[in-house]
Amino acid sequence: MFSGAQISLYPMTDDFVGVITSALGALDPYRERLRIETDDISTLLVGPPEVLFPALRDLFTAAARTGVHCVLSAAISRGCPGEPDDAICQSAHFDGPLLPLAERQSTALSAVREAPMTDVFSVAQFSLYVMGRDRHMDEIYGCIEFLKASGQFESSKHFATKLSGDTGALFATLEQAFCSFGPPEGHVTIDLTVSANSPSAR
């Protein structure tokens, strides 16, 4: 299976280059377990979700700790039939058959409760897309039930769900949404925007 994310980081400051280049150092512990490609639009991170989401968390947290308004935009995908399998993406998340929905929800909630805290507050909006299934809405509604119980749910929006909380728990919630809903071998995508230090909140 192929899994990864196209991401762009936007610090709202004159020193945006400094914030971005400094935050990229947070990816160093993950570089041997991710394939990273950068161009003038975005950065591609390819690897298993259990590495990908902590890397995204640490990158965004490093930028947000500067205190400037930061936004991360990401398109995250797994199992796309147009992408070749990649050994670097092998993940225990997708071993075995699809378990009953209630069992997956319970396991996902336990993972969020165990997430490391960053002491950085963030908000996010995201949309989950479960592709190529006749009962895809059952998976999406099951994910929404999980989100409402996760402690990170803030509100439903048109076309998206809004989350807020500690950045550690927030990215753990996103990882579980990505991995726990939809068949293990299926095509699942997330459209994600994360924000910290927004002046709108003040």
User: Is the pLDDT at 179 greater than 80, yes or no?
Assistant: yes
| Alpha-carbon span 150 to 133, nearest angstrom | 25
Q: Are 70 and 107 in contact, with CB atoms under 8 Å apart?
A: no
Q: How many domains does the chain have?
A: 1
pLDDT in tens, 115-132: 999 999 999 999 999 987
**CATH classification of the domain holding 187:** 3.30.70.930
Q: Are 180 and 105 in contact, with CB atoms under 8 Å apart?
A: yes
Q: Which tokens in the block code for residue 84?
A: 């070749």
Q: Are 131 and 188 in contact, with CB atoms under 8 Å apart?
A: yes
- State the pLDDT at residue 1: 87
Q: Which domain holds residue 112?
A: 3-201
User: Is the pLDDT at 202 greater than 70, yes or no?
Assistant: no
| Alpha-carbon span 109 to 114, nearest angstrom | 9
Beta bridge partners of 38: 43
The pTM for the full model equals 0.95
- State the pLDDT at residue 86: 87
User: Is the pLDDT at 134 greater than 80, yes or no?
Assistant: no
- State the pLDDT at residue 127: 97
Q: Angle of helix 101-113 relative to helix 167-180, nearest 10 degrees?
A: 160
| Alpha-carbon span 11 to 67, nearest angstrom | 10
Give the residue-averaged pLDDT of 171-192.
95
